[in-house]
Structure 1
């Protein structure tokens, strides 16, 4: 399995080059499926979603599909994933995304599809693979309100592949509180490893190898 877990998508050439290398062929010879599910649980202006979709579309794919995980038959969703070379899962509310995967019984088929595809996550789409994506981590991180907004108090991680947790948008002007002091306060409370990444960074996983590709800044605790 190959994952490129970003905070804000393919914002720079280093991240785009990393995806080209993982894909092993030009974007123009590949199909991508764009999954906006996490975004629909977020209120307010969605210009950020449109901008990221346009940036991804502008890479010139052979086919650009858009797939919502809710409301379609399970087999239809999995067949659409299997027709893609790259599965690109957008940001928003990570708890809504996780609950959409488990609630629609997609986890097993999703992982099967990813055995031979490249997964690109954006923010929430990058957070769903941790076994620590639970109501406990929501309390530790300080975003339990995003879980409670869904009418939920508990959460089952859909995949549980990694023991570390990824928190995006470090130093982002859109989240001005996310500075070093904020990251350190969370890390002091956490009983699991944490990657904090800025909007120019991704955590890359190829089989059992984990590294960071970046034109920006990031931190790992401990």
Structure 2
């Protein structure tokens, strides 16, 4: 399995080069599917979503598909994933995304598709693979409000592949509270490893090997 887990999409050439290497052929000869499901649970202006879609589309894919995980038959969703060479899952509410995967019985099929495809995550799309994506981690991170807007206080990790947790947007002007003091407060409560990524950074996982690629700044708490 190959993952490029970005904080804020493919914003720099280092991340784009990493994806080219993982795909192994020109983007013009590959299919990508964009999953915007997490964004649906976010209120307000969605210009950030359109900017991310346009940035990805601009790479010049053979086919650019858009797939919502809710409302379609399970087999249809999985067939669309299998038709892609790159599965790109966008940002928004990671708890809504996780619940959409588990609630629609997609986890096993998703993992099957990822055996021979490249996965790219943007923010929420990068957060759903930790086994620590639970109500406890919501309390540690301080984002239980994102669960409460869904009318629940619990969430199941849909995959549980990684022992570490990923938290994006460190030092981001869009999230001015996410500074070192914010990260330090989380670390003081955390009983699991955490990658804190700024918007120019990604965690790359290739065949179980984990590294960080960045044109910015990041922190790791073990």
Residue 12 of structure 1 is matched in structure 2 by 12
Q: Secondary structure at the match of 1:212?
A: strand
Post-superposition offset of 1:66: 0.2
Q: Secondary structure at the match of 2:216?
A: coil
Post-superposition offset of 1:49: 0.1
Q: Distance in 2 between matches of 1:28 and 1:149?
A: 40
Q: Distance in 1 between matches of 2:145 and 2:178?
A: 17
Q: Secondary structure at the match of 2:220?
A: strand
Count of residues in Structure 1 that have an aligned counterpart in Structure 2:
222
Residue 216 of structure 1 is matched in structure 2 by 216
Residue 75 of structure 1 is matched in structure 2 by 75
Q: Which runs of 5+ in 1 are unaligned?
A: none
Q: Distance in 2 between matches of 1:58 and 1:211?
A: 26
Post-superposition offset of 1:80: 0.2
Q: Distance in 1 between matches of 2:208 and 2:13?
A: 25
Residue 100 of structure 1 is matched in structure 2 by 100
Residue 203 of structure 2 is matched in structure 1 by 203
Post-superposition offset of 1:208: 1.3
- Report the TM-score when normalising by structure 1: 1.00
Residue 164 of structure 1 is matched in structure 2 by 164
Post-superposition offset of 1:158: 0.2
Matched, 1:56 2:56: yes
- Report the TM-score when normalising by structure 2: 1.00
Shift >3 Å, 4+ stretches = none
Q: Distance in 1 between matches of 2:156 and 2:47?
A: 30
Residue 177 of structure 1 is matched in structure 2 by 177
Post-superposition offset of 1:119: 0.2
Post-superposition offset of 1:207: 1.2
Residue 29 of structure 1 is matched in structure 2 by 29
Q: Distance in 1 between matches of 2:59 and 2:208?
A: 28
